[in-house]
Amino acid sequence: MIAFLTGRLAFKAPTHLTLDVQGVGYEVHIPLSTYYALPNVDEVIALNIHTHLREDAIQLFGFLSQSEKESFLLLTSVSGIGPKLALSVLSSLSIADLVRAIQTEDVEKLATVPGIGKKSAGRMTLELKDKVHKIHGMYPRSSAAEESDPEGPYEDALSALINLGYRAQDAKDALKRVMKDTTGSLALKELIREGLKELARG
């Protein structure tokens, strides 16, 4: 069972990366929160890994922080929530917002996550309310990616929303509404988050 990997970042995308560990390339699925904080390609990184075994495949899920991994494992312990939905939650909500929503039983906020309906959100609050204290620390909000040039965030945000399962045109329309209603520029993280809110409104 792989629990930790250190290697050269060979490729990165909003949903996954390739880690070169002494000449062996590992494909690792990641949440957007990890993607935001990744260094440049060819730099060395260390990832906390969860190995998910299926009948037809072995999948690796990676996180830059231990608190992300702990949150992921807690989420997948909820009935009806698999690894893909758990990544969607971590891609849509910061760990601080996730913990707060669970502790306050904010079903409405949890239900804004793509793929999570009110029924699943209710199960999350019921099953995790007494467990979220196990998450150590909070994931840092800032990253080098947020300081990138202002032209880049729109395309990166669009790509991220499409990778989360939204239709390209719906994602474009949502981002246009966000940018129209915003004065000044938004960092990539905020642009995606506001885009998700617009998409949730329909």
- pLDDT tens-digit profile of 34-51? 998 899 999 999 999 999
End residue of a domain, out of 134, 156, 188: 134
Mark whether 11 and 37 lie in a shared domain: yes
Q: What confidence tens digit (pLDDT) does each residue in 99-124 have?
A: 889 989 999 999 989 889 889 999 99
Mark whether 34 and 49 lie in a shared domain: yes
End residue of a domain, out of 77, 99, 134: 134
Inform me whether the pLDDT recorded for 149 exceeds 50: no
CATH code, domain carrying 168 = 1.10.8
Q: What is the pLDDT of residue 26?
A: 96
Mean pLDDT of 175-180: 84
- Lowest pLDDT segment from 46-55, 149-158, 174-183: 149-158
User: Which distant-in-sequence residues (6+ apart) come within 8 Å of 1 by Cβ?
Assistant: 51
Q: What is the pLDDT of residue 94?
A: 86
Q: What is the pLDDT of residue 185?
A: 66
Asked whether residue 139 is assigned to any structural domain, the reply reads: no
Q: How many domains, the chain?
A: 3
Average pLDDT, the chain: 83
Mark whether 158 and 111 lie in a shared domain: no
54 vs 12, higher pLDDT: 12
- Residue 59 is part of which domain span? 4-63
Mean pLDDT of 155-181: 80
Mark whether 9 and 54 lie in a shared domain: yes
- Contact 114/162 with Cβ under 8 angstroms? no
* Reported pTM: 0.66
Band of residue 162 on the pLDDT scale cut at 50, 70, 90: confident
Mark whether 55 and 101 lie in a shared domain: no
Mark whether 59 and 71 lie in a shared domain: no
Asked whether residue 187 is assigned to any structural domain, the reply reads: yes
- Lowest pLDDT segment from 18-27, 64-73, 137-146: 137-146
Mark whether 71 and 35 lie in a shared domain: no
| Percent of the chain's residues with pLDDT above 90 | 42
End residue of a domain, out of 90, 111, 134: 134
- Lowest pLDDT segment from 7-16, 25-34, 137-146: 137-146
Mark whether 128 and 158 lie in a shared domain: no
